[in-house]
Amino acid sequence: MATVKQVQITFDCANPRAVAEFWKRVLGYVDPPIPPGFESWEALDETMPPEERGARWACQDPQGVGPRLFFQRAPEPKQVKNRVHLDVRVGTGLRGAERLAALESEATRLEAFGATRLRLLEADGMSESCLVMQDIEGNEFCLD
């Protein structure tokens, strides 16, 4: 029998710190513990060669349950639809108008952080409604 493995989800992005800050607000995540010998992550970043400063950032579930998110600078902009995306589960167990209200409330909260709505996928008998959105760099995610 296979053992359960930890998962880290990695984002290619232009501004790793800004995208990490966005997802920290969405998920209630925090920065990882600061490495020994440094007063802050910024202090560690200053020890890097100039071309590597700001090139990576991470955040994690403070309870250690959810996957760690890692953000790395990529030289090219996002050009096509994600092949993998996050589903932010805000309507679990809800149906109909109650589910739509939960999706709407969370979408409004996330728009204040720079998220953009793309489209509502309405319930179809197989799946409940979900709202497709984008983070501050255009990465798609769903409010589910």
Write the pLDDT tens digit of every residue in 110-134: 999 999 999 999 988 888 999 999 9
Of 26, 43, 73, the residue at which a domain comes to its end is 73
Residue ranges making up the domain that contains 109: 86-143
Identify the residue whose tokens are 């800050």: 21
On whether residue 133 sits in a domain, the answer given is: yes
- Give the pair of three-digit tokens for residue 111: 């728009």
User: pLDDT of 52-110, one tens digit each?
Assistant: 999 999 999 999 999 999 999 998 877 887 878 899 999 999 999 999 999 999 999 99
What gap in Å lies between CA 37 and CA 108, rounded to an integer? 40
What gap in Å lies between CA 142 and CA 136, rounded to an integer? 14
On whether residue 3 sits in a domain, the answer given is: no
On whether residue 138 sits in a domain, the answer given is: yes
The answer to whether residues 16 and 67 belong to one domain is: yes
- Alpha helix locations (H) across the chain? 16-27, 41-46, 96-111
**Number of domains present in the structure of the chain:** 2
Nearest CA to 136 among 103, 119, 113? Answer: 113
CATH of the domain at 47: 3.30.720
